[in-house]
Structure 1
Amino acid sequence: MKLALLVYLASVVNGIGLILILSGLALAIYGICNVIYASKLEPEYIPTYASDEKVKKLTTFNESIPDIKKKAAKIVRLNVVLCLCLWFVAALIPTEKNIYLMAGAYATEQIASNERVQKIGSDVLEVIETKLTELKETEK
């Protein structure tokens, strides 16, 4: 089951990285739009002939512009941090090839550290040394 999950993870890892990069890009675009919107906000002109209700609305809007700009600045800061985090995580995700290389290295390490394999290896080495000694003696 572990091998099946490894193969599945290796097949979807490129998609995960792409989703993280695109999410970071979308956040960057959203932050840029917030900056543009906040920078274009200017107090509205209140005409002298406007009704009391309209004057009240425009006055409220004009007074809220600094708050809107502060909120936009907070959103931009948050977007910058999130973009950098998403792109950093996307950079850390290994490629499909690297996942298979890591799995192969782990399997090799496990095989090499197995006592049975080491005993067989030492037995094979003894047989080879014995045969070489016999061959040297027959040549003399």
Structure 2
Amino acid sequence: MNLALYIYLCEVVGSLDGMFAAFSIVSGILVCAGIFGILMHQDFDQFKRGEELVKAKAGRKTFITGVKVLAALCPTFALIAAVIPSQKTMYAMAAAYYGEQAVKSETFQRLNGKAMQLLEVKIDELLETKK
């Protein structure tokens, strides 16, 4: 993956994390309000008769379905918010990946070998001059 694209996605995913957390909180609040509304609606149904009662029960079923959907979405949003890594973690993952790729490259291996040889020669020269 292109590094520039990965950095862009880090920013996007970082903002999605907060959005999913907010969705989770809002969904939880709406579920609580929905449950309260269902309980209040049932209390008022005792005063309705006939066709009005049938319409009220049909409306309640639709409302209950909506509350059930929100009740399912609330933990889903919370789970997504928890699973998404932070920007700091994503940058660390990118650094680790590209660092590993650099270490595995032939150029790095060749230069690393030469650098070690040069270092050994210079250390030996320094040790000989101190004697």
- Give the shorter-chain TM-score range: 0.7 to 0.9
In structure 2, the CA distance between the partners of 1:139 and 1:70, relative to structure 1 (3 Å rule), is: same
Normalising by structure 2, we get a TM-score of 0.76
What one-letter code is carried by the residue in structure 1 that aligns with 2:86? T
Q: How does 1:1-140 map to 2 (within 5 A)?
A: 2-40=2-40, 41-42=42-43, 43-45=45-47, 55-61=49-55, 64=57, 68=60, 72=64, 75-140=66-131
Shift in Å, 1:33: 2.1
RMSD value, Cα: 2.8
Does the CA-based 8 Å contact 1:14-1:96 persist in structure 2?
yes
State the Cα deviation string for residues 17-65 of structure 1 (Å, max 9, x = none): 122122222222221222111111233336xxxxxxxx53245357x38
| Runs (5+) with no aligned partner, structure 1 | 47-54
What one-letter code is carried by the residue in structure 2 that aligns with 1:99? M
Shift in Å, 1:129: 1.5
2-structure distance, mates of 1:38, 1:125: 75
Does the CA-based 8 Å contact 1:44-1:58 persist in structure 2?
no
Normalising by structure 1, we get a TM-score of 0.72
| Runs (5+) with no aligned partner, structure 2 | none
Equivalent residues, number: 129
Which protein has the larger Cα radius of gyration, Structure 1 or Structure 2?
A: 1
In structure 2, the CA distance between the partners of 1:34 and 1:120, relative to structure 1 (3 Å rule), is: same
